[in-house]
């Protein structure tokens, strides 16, 4: 099944089914460090300078298994406007991708920590959960697929409170986790 067809089948109900299979993640290193990293990046965002961006990009890559190869980033005023607006403009996303190791996976993590209410993380585990396929190398680094994924999650946000309440009730997440992260976590931890 191709990515577009698989993404169209994604629903809040399928995410709730995935959530039922999540075991206790509170001791998972990826999850347990998330809130601290999010708090750090949130406290830095007001500075809005290139040093901050380099620091957050390195932080995100420290959270990943790959060392950052930072390339000169973008014109800062338009960058911050795009991040704040949750832009999915393909040129903007390609600029993020080329600046962060030529990787939209790393770029998605970077954008998520800068604006967690508008951007979710997109990686091979999320892609495999959506498509039920391990053939993800090209597809997870595809800016158009990332844009479609975010559009799909945003379209389900109004329904995602049920999912969030389920995850909170199961004590899998805290109240401060955003809806985009709730949906992404179900995909990330899906073992089907």
**Tens of pLDDT, residues 17-67:** 988 888 877 777 667 777 778 888 888 777 777 788 778 877 777 766 655
pTM over 0.85: no
Measure Cα distances from 93 to 16, 83, 96, 141, 142 in Å. 29, 10, 5, 11, 10
Find the domain containing 138 and state its range. 3-188
Number of separate domains in the chain: 1
- Rounded CA-CA distance 122/105 in Å is 6
Q: Are 118 and 183 in contact (CB under 8 A)?
A: no
**Range from 64-68, 72-76, 114-118 carrying the lowest mean pLDDT:** 64-68
**Phi, psi dihedral angles at 155 (to 5 degrees):** -70, -20
- Binning pLDDT at 50, 70 and 90, where does residue 183 land? very high
* H-run or E-run covering 150: helix 143-156
Quick check: 137 pLDDT over 60?
no
């Amino acid at each position: 099944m191709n990515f577009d067809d698989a993404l169209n089948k994604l629903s809040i109900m399928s995410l709730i089914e995935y959530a039922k299979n999540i075991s206790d993640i509170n001791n998972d290193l990826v999850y347990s460090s998330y809130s601290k990293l999010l708090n750090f990046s949130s406290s830095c965002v007001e500075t809005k300078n290139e040093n901050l961006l380099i620091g957050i990009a390195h932080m995100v890559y420290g959270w990943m298994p790959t060392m950052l190869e930072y390339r000169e980033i973008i014109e800062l005023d338009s960058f911050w406007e795009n991040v704040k607006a949750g832009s999915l403009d393909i040129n903007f996303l390609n600029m993020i991708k080329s600046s962060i190791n030529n990787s939209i996976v790393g770029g998605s993590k970077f954008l998520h920590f800068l604006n967690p209410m508008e951007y979710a993380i997109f990686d091979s585990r999320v892609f495999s959960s959506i498509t039920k396929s391990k053939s993800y190398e090209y597809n997870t680094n595809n800016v158009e697929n990332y844009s479609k994924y975010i559009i799909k999650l945003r379209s389900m946000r109004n329904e995602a409170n049920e999912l969030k309440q389920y995850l909170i009730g199961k004590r899998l997440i805290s109240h401060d986790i955003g809806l985009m992260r709730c949906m992404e976590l179900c995909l990330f931890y899906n073992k089907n």
